[in-house]
Chains A and B, each alone.
Chain A
Amino acid sequence: MREKIIIIGGSAGSFQIVTTILSKLPKDFKYPILLALHRLKHVRHGFVEALSLKSGLPVVEPLDKENIRPGKVYLAPANYHMYVELTKTFALSTEEPVNHSRPGIDLTFITGAYVYKEKVVGIILSGANKDGAYGLKKVKDFGGITIVQDPKECQITTMPVAAMEATPVDHVMSTEQIIQYLNSL
């Protein structure tokens, strides 16, 4: 089995998409999925539960230094940045917001790309700011696959459009196509 890691970034309008994607992945999905989603700072509980409802895969908010394991979905905890560490563990941080966000999408993508290189499948979904555009570019720079949700389908197009402006992405896909793609890996 070739190692891969799926990193998904999103903001406003992405929650439905993520739950749909998670509901259509098999229980034995072979790769870890990292979710770097903008979220309300003070809502520390409920988001993971909501995502878990229809997900075939377990969804957790990783603790600092937790191992990255295949077949698990990791949601960046509220008010923390979620880095990928060289030891293939999570490193959390309370450093200043990036692109006004903590968790910052760019940071998960950048560190994920640095560690996993061509094994990364980076996906940017609907969102209202440019967080993640630079991060997706880094995925491309390190040889990974880059996907954006088709702006025509997005509730808010700013995020995927910014990503496409930052780098020539490999695929512009609808939610259905993203699901098919992930299932084909």
Chain B
Amino acid sequence: MINNIDEINIGVTDIRRIAELLKSNYNLEINNYALTSMKRRLKKCISINELGNFENLMKKLESPEFFTKFMNDTSIEVTEMFRDPAFWRELKTQIIPDLLKKFNTINVWIPDFSSADEIYSLAILALEDGYHSKINIHATAVHQSLIRPSEIGLYQMKKLEVSEANYKRFNDKGDYNQYYTLEKFGFKMNSNLLSEVKFSTFDIVKDEMPCNYHLIIARNQLLYFNSNMHDNCVTLFSKALVKDGYLAIGTQETIEFCRDSKKFTLINPMEKIYKKNFI
């Protein structure tokens, strides 16, 4: 598989051309994504759709129907439910209880939710600890084509083993089986898990500032942005959070070089959980 993807040539000028096309035809801004991973996602899309080369991708993108497929084929998968089980245990035992002491309901923002792994992990956590109704989850995607109600929570079989193994490390007394049903070619997460979840679009470049969130779970999202966008996101997150709100990013990510890094205190260095300071 890797040979196919890598043999496809995409140069810097190509990236510029596709950025222009996506902007003019679909009002989608892709200039601020990290270059290498962006290229790989484009190559993957070309490979999945058997397009052969970049030129064919450009031609195909003139069709709005294909654009929806393109968006889904190039979206990043967080890839695992309960990724870094220690993080989810920290959320369960420290962060959420702390927030519930201060606030009656917790507004959680999960930006660029992609494969919805983080949404389901949080929903299961909340359900198990009895505060499912006290958490409002707002999951956003950069484009409407990425919000597909009929497909959310539907996963390939190969994902089940990893999800279950992670879950066991998160809660060795729990039973993951109760949260899904087996389907023909995979499994589907129970729809009741999404009862407190709202989906909408949000584009950091264009949309108005959200606010009043108590918790932002943006783990392994900043990886895919370039430094500029990474910086802008952190500023956005600082404005979106209430005082004493929490920001969770990926364990190998950092906000230390961002202009608004001082607005946060790193309270858990292992799991990269930050608390928003006063101001």
Contacts and interface: CB of A to CB of B under 8 A. Distances in A.
Nearest to A82: B252
A138 B252 CA distance: 27
A53 interface: no
Interface in A62-92: 62-65, 77, 79-80, 83-86, 91-92
Given A80-B252, A134-B3, A86 B36 contact: yes
A98 B40 CA distance: 12
A65 B230 CA distance: 10
B277 interface: no
A96 interface: yes
Contacts of B169: 42
A118 interface: no
A184 interface: no
Contacts of B230: 65
Nearest to A99: B2
A85 B251 contact: no
A63 B78 CA distance: 17
B90 interface: no
Chain A contact residues: helix, strand, loop or mixed? loop
Given A95-B37, A95-B40, A98-B2, A64 B79 contact: no
B77 interface: yes
Interface residues of A, number: 29
Which of A61, A64, A111 has the most B CB atoms < 10 Å from its CB? A64
B223 A94 contact: yes
Contacts of A64: 222-223, 250, 252-254
Given A79-B83, A94-B78, A138 B2 contact: no
Contacts of B34: 85, 91
Interface of A: 42, 44-45, 61-65, 77, 79-80, 83-86, 91-96, 98-99, 104, 106, 110-111, 134, 138
17 contacts: A42-B85, A44-B251, A45-B270, A61-B252, A64-B252, A65-B227, A65-B257, A83-B37, A84-B36, A85-B34, A94-B76, A94-B83, A94-B250, A95-B77, A96-B79, A104-B2, A134-B3
Given A79-B84, A94-B78, 19 more contacts: A42-B85, A42-B169, A44-B270, A64-B250, A79-B83, A80-B252, A85-B34, A85-B36, A91-B223, A92-B223, A92-B250, A93-B40, A94-B77, A94-B220, A94-B250, A95-B37, A95-B76, A106-B2, A110-B6
